[in-house]
Amino acid sequence: MKKQVKTAAVLFLLACVSMTSCNTSKKDNNNNMIEKVSFGKLPDGQETELYTLKNASGMEVKISNFGGTVVSWTAPNNKGVYEDVILGCDSVAGYVKGVPYFGALIGRFGNRIANGKFTLEGKEYTLAQNNGVNALHGGLKGFDKVLWTATPIEGEEPALKLTYTAKDGEEGYPGNLSVEVVYTLQKDNALKIDYKATTDKTTIINLTNHTYFNLNGNLDSDILEHEVTLNADKFLPVDKTLIPTGELKPVTGNVFDFLKSKKISAGINDTTDTQIKAGGGYDHCWVLTDSTKTLKSAATVYEPKSGRVLEVLTTEPAIQFYAGNFLNGTIKGKNGIIYKHRSGLCLETQHYPDSPNKPAFPSTVLKPNETYQTTTVYKFSVK
Ligand code: GLA
């Protein structure tokens, strides 16, 4: 009899443990919920997870350990209605099939490196040319396509810690690079992203997040009437392969001036501007006027109908404003919605593209005894 009770208890425990591994809800001390569900299997059979961070005001951010991807994010409009404001897929299968970095963590080097080559401490390194002749966003299997180790963090505000170690030589980059990214959903409807990394060999690094925002709350629409402010007095003109020419060009007097709030539609189709032509619209890196490493306001986006405002703050020196020019109606996203041309915009905080080949640009070199550390905050409000 005693033995039977023991066996039942063990079975019960085992059942609980196995349930916990596939679906858990964890309430922290402040009643914030961090929920975990399956996000589907990878082609090699590995399970992926989807975590939901929810704050007291009702904002919900879903993040997968696949690519550290922000999959959905609800923000209130001026009537208090929460709607999803980012592009993404319903399950991991969509991301595996191939999407242009929706919501993903980008690394080891965000943006382009000319001809997939750079020299560091006298040694030349060759990367995959995965964007025409250039290397883009960390390579064929960048940080957007790897499985991160996720740990929910209890505390005043719900957070998810993601860690990944890229091996020496992975995607052609030198050094074993240990990366830690913490997403924290703050009480004030802001998602804070803290990036940290260390290496055992001198390497290069430029981490960012590639979320596509559409503040309409209707992802079946474009972002052309969004009003953008960029606190940047210069931008980086590019060649026809989108590599910076090296010039830091003042924004005054051209369509790259977002110092005062302006509709995207006002300049994005001005093909008399050679840079708009080169980028197929806005797809450039703006150099922030404040070049200090403090957390400062880099950009603001306002969507007049919904009243939604998104402010981006960062410790980084620059921001890539990409208006979804390559979206062309071929990708089916969440809830079967087809993502049209320019249905999402990205504000990728970062160092300048092709920095490893441009000694005059701020350095992206990380040495073994240093710690890479940056923070970016995406904060929602209404007006
Ligand atoms: C970045 C680039 C764009 C494009 C997108 C992904 O933002 O700047 O040119 O490659 O990624 O489609």
Q: What is the DSSP string of 264-319?
A: GGGTTT-TTSHHHHHHTSSEEEEEES--SSS-EEEEEEEETTTTEEEEEEESSSEE
Residue 165 to residue 176: CA distance in whole angstroms? 7
- Give the position of tokens 């709607």: 83
> Does residue 158 fall inside a structural domain?
yes
Q: How many CB atoms lie within 10 A of CB 175?
A: 24
Instruction: Indicate which CATH number applies to the domain containing 292.
Output: 2.70.98.10
Q: Which amino acids are annotated as binding site for beta-D-galactose, given as ranges?
A: 111-112, 210-212, 283
Q: Is 75 in the pocket of ligand 1 (CB under 6 A)?
A: no
Q: Per residue in 261-300, pLDDT tens?
A: 999 999 999 989 999 999 999 999 999 999 999 999 999 9
CA of 328 to the centre of ligand 1 (A): 13
Tell me which residue of 166, 143, 163 sits closest to 153, measured CA to CA. 163
Range of the domain at 137: 24-382
Tell whether 16 is covered by a domain.
no
- Is residue 15 in a domain? no
Q: With beta carbons less than 8 A apart as the criterion, state whether 310 and 291 touch.
A: no
In a domain, 340, yes or no: yes
Q: Whose CA is nearest to atom 8 of ligand 1?
A: 283
The pair of structure tokens assigned to 87 is 């592009």
Task: Name the H helices within 90-236.
Answer: 92-98
Confidence of residue 356 (pLDDT cuts 50, 70, 90): very high
How many distinct structural domains can be found in the chain? Answer: 1
- Is 13 among the domain residues? no
Phi then psi for residue 70, to 5 deg, are: -80, 115
Residue 84 falls inside a structural domain = yes
For 81-136, the pLDDT digits (tens) are 999 999 999 999 999 999 999 999 999 999 999 999 999 999 999 999 999 999 99
Alpha-carbon distances of 34 from 156, 157, 161, rounded to whole Å: 12, 10, 12
pLDDT in tens, 293-332: 999 999 999 999 999 999 999 999 999 999 999 999 999 9
Residue 48 Cα to ligand 1 middle (Å): 25
d(CA 127, CA 115): 8
Pairing of strands 70-76, 82-84: antiparallel
Confidence of residue 1 (pLDDT cuts 50, 70, 90): very low
User: Ligand 1 pocket, 320 CB below 6 A?
Assistant: yes
- Beta carbon of 328 within 6 Å of any ligand 1 atom: no
**pLDDT score recorded for residue 2:** 42
